[in-house]
Amino acid sequence: MIRSLTDAQRRDWLRLARTENVGAVTFDQLIGRFGEPALALAALPDLARRGGRIKPLSIPSEAQADAELEAGAALGARLIASCEADFPLPLAALDPPPPLLWVRGKAELLARPCVAVVGARVASAAGQRFARGLAADLGRTGHVVVSGMARGIDGAAHEGALPFGTVAVLGGGIDDVYPPEHRPLYERLIVEGCVVSENEPGRTAVARDFPRRNRIIAGLSRAVVVVEAELRSGSLITARLAAEQGREVLAVPGSPLDPRAKGANDLIRQGAALCEGVDDVLRALEGLRDLREPDRPAYRPAPIDPYPALIRRVADLLSPTPVSRDELVRAAAAPAPAVFAALVELSLAGRAELLPGGMVSSG
């Protein structure tokens, strides 16, 4: 895997990551198949046509990629690709990692052990006080606190951790300040802490950005603490993603009369560790194995081209219900590399969605 990028490689890496229908899984498969982003970019139109796409795939031009790089540089932000040595190790350990990350502020915080503190936007005063105190206590033990800069628990956690180190993961671009009243907090974060985003500068977050944002919050962290959360909330998505990634999940118990406690109490019922203070977090972290970047197979110089009949067969096997890629290999009765290659071509055509965790659904 590349460990440093030339300017041209960085631009191509960005162009591939911003191409229509190329998410983290498809990006990872394309790099594994072609080795270099430039080779993958050259192959994309033909791959999409083979997958059944009719209209041309939208691929950013070199000028568009340069414009994004210049916009980030104007903000004092830095783009780090997932192949680079200073990409955060916990994120690199994800399968697959996000292809790139914009970073503004103290990037060195990403190399320290991190713990996420997340919770309800409409949080109680007691919940915010607990989050602020827990974040400060975690900071005193040398941990960086990660959260999403939202109202309520997130904002309180950042405030408590600012003197020690905190990272905000944004759903929009690196300069998308939401909620607006957190502008003063954001200005402090880019000086005293760190702000990260995988989206381009200037982008305003939309609903589909937040699950990806939550995956990064969990991915940066060795543990996730949920302070307050209703039964259907983004904080529970973050907790689920953390559990899937092999991170520790803790929850702060609350009154059964408060709807904001139901999500956290349910996490405890499902096996999350109970958190009443920093000592509970430290105990949970004691038995956690170190996160390591997975060994990725070397790319094949000669790409595997699935034959058209196999592409049709794999497409027929897909449905809106996600299934694992291993199940598709068995059902297709074909070699795994050929099935995976077919899935990439179907995803570029918008006919398949490749999900983290090895799951696939129809597009």
List the end-to-end C-alpha distance of the chain, in Å, as a whole number. Answer: 30
Give the single-character DSSP code of 248: E
Q: Residue 307: its pLDDT value, please?
A: 76
Stated pTM of the model:
0.90
Q: pLDDT (tens digit, 0 to 9) for every residue of the chain, 363 residues total?
A: 556 789 999 999 999 999 999 999 999 999 988 989 999 999 999 999 999 999 999 999 999 999 999 999 999 999 999 999 999 999 999 989 999 999 999 999 999 999 999 999 999 999 999 999 999 999 999 999 999 999 999 999 999 999 999 999 999 999 999 999 999 999 999 999 999 999 999 999 998 899 999 999 999 999 999 999 998 888 999 999 999 999 999 999 999 889 999 999 999 999 999 999 999 999 999 977 665 555 544 444 444 667 788 999 999 999 999 999 999 999 999 988 889 999 999 999 999 999 888 899 988
- Reference 225, options 192, 268, 195; nearest CA is 268
Q: What are phi and psi of 114, to 5 degrees?
A: -120, 150
Give the 3-state secondary structure of 286-311: HCCCCCCCCCCCCCCCCCCCCCHHHH
Sheet containing 194-197, strands listed edge to edge, beginning at the edge strand earlier in sequence: 78-81, 100-105, 194-197, 166-169, 144-147, 114-118, 223-226, 248-251, 273-274
Q: Residue 302: its pLDDT value, please?
A: 43
Q: Residue 357: its pLDDT value, please?
A: 82
Half-sphere exposure of 302 (CA within 13 A, CB side): 1
Q: Residue 21: its pLDDT value, please?
A: 95
Q: Residue 3: its pLDDT value, please?
A: 67
DSSP element (H, E) containing 218: helix 209-220
Q: Residue 135: its pLDDT value, please?
A: 98
Check the CA dihedral 273-264-207-131 and report its sign. negative
Tell me: cis bond preceding 45? Omega within 30 of 0 counts.
no
